[in-house]
A and B are shown apart, each in its own frame.
Chain A
Amino acid sequence: MKVAIINYSMGNLSSVRRSFEEIGADAVIANHPSALYEVDRIVLPGVGAFAEGMAHLNQGGWVTALHDVVNLQNKPLLGICLGMQMLASKGYEGTETEGLGFIPGEVKRIDLLGCNERIPHMGWNEVCYKSKSVMFDNIPEASDFYFVHSYAFVPTNSDNLIATVNYGCELTAAINSHHVFGCQFHPEKSSKAGRQLLKNFMSYSAC
C-alpha cells in the first residue's frame, strides 16, 4: 500500500513520512501532482496559514489533481492540521480564502468560537468521540493527541464531526466524509495513539 505525502512547501514532512514507514507503509514525498495518480492513499500535511497554504496548492497544480484522484478515483485522503483545515469550503485566516471544499465547513480563529484560553492551543489534549469512524478504531475514548493550532474547523453538517477536543470550548478534533478524513492534531507527533490512527487510515477500505 503506497501513500503519497504532498510537498507544497509548507513545513517539514520527514516526521510524517517516518511515521508511515514505522507502520510498514510505502511512503513517498510527492513533489509533483502527477505522483498522486500512482499511489493508493494521499496525505495533506501542513503547518502554517490557510491563505498561504491554499496559494501554494493552487500554484503547484495540486487542487485539480486532488479533486481528480479523490472525487473521481475515490482515493482516501487524510488532512493533518492545516491540511485538515483546507478540506473546508472556506477559511478566515488572514483573508477570506476558498478551501478545497471536500467537507463543507469553515475555519475560524478559536477565540471567535468561544475559547477563552491562551492561543495557540498547544499540547497533549484528549479527544471526545462524536460519531463512530474507522479513524479511531482500536483507540480508546479520551486518548490524548498532540495539538498545535489557533484556528479550528466548523463543519456545516454535524454528521462529519467525528471527534472534539475541549479547550475553553468544544473544538473540532477530527472530521470524516466518505473517504476523506481530517485531524486537527498531529498523529505523527502523537506517539502510539497517532501511529494507530495512521494504521487505521492505511487499512481503511470503502465498503
Chain B
Amino acid sequence: MLKVRVIPTLLWKDFGLVKGVAFDSWRRVGSVLPAVKVYNSRDVDELIVVDITASNEKNHPDHESVADFSEECFVPLTVGGGITSLEDVLHLLHSGADKISINSAAFSDPQIIDATAGRFGVQCVVASIDVRRFDDGSYHCFSHSGTQDTGKDPVEWAKELVSRGAGEILLTSINRDGTMQGYDLELTECVAKSVNVPVIASGGAGNYQHMIDVVLQAGASAVAAASIFHFTEQTPAGAKQAMKSAGIPIRQNFLSLNNK
C-alpha cells in the first residue's frame, strides 16, 4: 500500500529561504541548502522547492542551485518556479530534480504539460494550482505567485491538467497560506474527488490534526507544509506519528537493526 506523505515545502527567493502569509509579506527564514540538509537528516518523505520569484521576473529556473540542493537530497525532490519550456524541464531533471512543478506556464501554454509528460513520463509532472477563495464562496485559480486571476475553476482546471498528463496535483489555498488555520478542506475534497491522481494539500497547516483532517476528510494523498515546520516545534516525524495514531498509513522512519 502506498504511504501518505508529509512534504516540507521550501520557498526560495534570491537565494534565501522565505515564508509569507497569503502569498505576501515574505519573511526570510534561513538559507535553502542547510534546510535541505536538515530535512534529509531527519528522513523526510519528499521535498518541494519552489523559486517564488522566477515567474514574475521572467527568469529561467536556476538549475545550478537546484544541482546543489539535489546533491544533498536523498529523497524525491520536486522543483518549481519559472518553468516555461521543455528545455527548462530538461535542465532541471539533469540537475537532479525528480519531478518538476508547473503552474503559471500551464495557463498560457497548456501544451507544456502534454509535452513534458510525453517526453519524460507522467511520474515527473506535478501540476501546481494556487487557488483563492472569494467572499461569495467561489474559487479561482491564480497564476504568477497568486498575483493574476485566471478566472479558472480549480476542479475543471485540475481535470484538464490530469487529462493532459499531470501525474500529481499540488493544490495550494492562497487564503490559508501561512495562516496556520488549517487546510481548505472543501477545496481539497472537491479536487481530490474529481481526479484520479494524488492530490497534495498545501496551505494552512498549523498542527498535526489539520494534516489528519485533510487526509481523512478531504482525501489528500500527501500533505505539504512550511510555516508549521519553520515557526513551531512540530516536525515531519511528529506529524507522521500523529497520523499513524489516526490510522493513516505513513512511512516509518528507518531504524537500522544494528543501531536498535
Contacts and interface: CB of A to CB of B under 8 A. Distances in A.
Contact of A18 (B1, B71, B197): B71
Among A12, A188, A195: residue with most chain B CB under 10 A:
A12
A192 B96 CA distance: 18
B249 to A, nearest CB: 9
A160 to B, nearest CB: 24
Interface stretch (B53-61, B139-147, B152-160, B251-259): B251-259
Contacts of A188: 74
A12 B100 CA distance: 14
Interface stretch (A25-33, A85-93, A97-105, A136-144): A136-144
B43 interface: yes
B3 interface: yes
For chain A, the bracket of interface size reads 20 to 34
B96 A15 contact: yes
A123 B1 CA distance: 10
A120 B123 contact: yes
A8 interface: no
Nearest to A192: B254
Interface string A173-207: 00000000000000011111111100000000000
Nearest to B124: A148
Given A144-B251, A167-B2, A139 B256 contact: yes
Nearest to B94: A12
A11 to B, nearest CB: 8
Interface string B1-29: 11101000000000000000000000000
B121 interface: yes
Contacts, number: 83
Q: Binding site of A, secondary structure by majority: helix, strand, loop or mixed?
A: mixed
A15 B255 contact: no
Interface in B213-260: 251-258
B40 A191 contact: yes
Nearest to B259: A138
B255 A140 contact: yes
B88 interface: no
A143 B252 contact: yes
A191 B3 CA distance: 15
B79 interface: no
B76 A192 contact: no
B130 interface: no
A64 interface: no
Enumerate the 5 nearest inter-chain pairs by beta-carbon distance, A residue then B residue, closest first: A192-B254, A144-B251, A124-B3, A123-B2, A193-B254
Interface of A: 11-12, 14-15, 18-19, 22, 118, 120-126, 138-140, 143-144, 146, 148, 166-167, 188-196
Given A11-B93, A123-B3, A148-B123, 14 more contacts: A15-B73, A118-B196, A124-B2, A124-B5, A124-B251, A139-B254, A139-B256, A140-B257, A146-B75, A189-B75, A189-B98, A190-B74, A192-B43, A196-B254
7 contacts: A18-B70, A22-B74, A120-B122, A123-B2, A124-B45, A124-B251, A191-B40
